[in-house]
């Protein structure tokens, strides 16, 4: 009886198949990155003149090289920044040392008083990235909390839920009442 040979597997094209699988994996896979700040920068405008901002409408936040915050001329902890920013942005009691308001027509809300607030953020060249991100997060959270509270009061849903379901008209209306105005100056040697 003749001995039967075991058939060999042609391994010549195995490298090609592995390469194609690798390429397929790289092309179809998305790498999610949770780092960075979600900011849309305004377009560059030639001969842009900055409109004057009254001192009472300006919330200045300075971060020095020692990672200390100076908010409106007073030392403040990062943990206090959100509430201070919310108070400044909303000015619920129309205090004269907080931003003035102007009346505008807002869909779903009618004639509404809107703050003329601007938050000015400036860092020292030696400010840590950690403090910079914390300050950015607190300022963004102040706007988000105010927007969520207003949306819940007016529509029974949070602002985040309105964004999620794609209700652009209501989202636009809330942004009109609480526009996010954060001005960032170039880092410099702020000192203390």
List pLDDT tens digits, range 83-99.
Answer: 999 999 999 888 888 89
Q: How many domains does the chain have?
A: 1
Q: Note the pLDDT tens digit of each residue in 86-144.
A: 999 999 888 888 899 999 999 999 999 999 999 999 988 888 989 999 999 999 999 99
pTM over 0.85: no
Phi, psi at 159, each rounded to 5° = -60, -40
10 inside domain: no
Specify the pLDDT at position 184. 86
Task: Judge whether 90 and 146 are in contact, CB under 8 Å.
Answer: yes
- Whether 12 is in a domain gets the answer no
178 domain-assigned: yes
Asked whether residue 5 is domain-assigned, the answer is no
Give the structural domain span for 93.
55-184
Asked whether residue 40 is assigned to any structural domain, the reply reads no
Is residue 165 included in any domain, yes or no? yes
């Amino acid at each position: 009886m003749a001995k039967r040979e075991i058939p060999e597997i042609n391994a010549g094209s195995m490298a090609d198949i592995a390469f194609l699988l690798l390429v397929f994996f790289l092309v179809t896979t998305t790498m999610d990155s949770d780092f960075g700040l979600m900011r849309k920068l305004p377009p560059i405008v030639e001969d842009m003149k900055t409109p004057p901002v009254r001192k009472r409408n300006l919330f200045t936040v300075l971060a020095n090289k020692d990672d200390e915050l100076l908010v409106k001329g007073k030392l403040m902890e990062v943990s206090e920044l959100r509430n201070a920013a919310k108070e400044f942005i909303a000015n619920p009691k129309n205090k004269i040392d907080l931003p003035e308001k102007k009346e505008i027509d807002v869909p779903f809300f009618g004639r509404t008083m809107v703050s003329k607030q601007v938050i000015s953020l400036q860092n020292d060249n030696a400010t840590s990235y950690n403090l910079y991100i914390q300050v950015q997060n607190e300022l963004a959270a102040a706007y988000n909390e105010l927007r969520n509270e207003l949306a819940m009061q007016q529509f029974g849903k949070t602002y985040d839920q309105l964004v999620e379901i794609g209700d652009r008209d209501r989202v636009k209306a809330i942004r009109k009442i609480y526009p996010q105005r954060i001005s960032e100056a170039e880092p410099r040697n702020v000192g203390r």
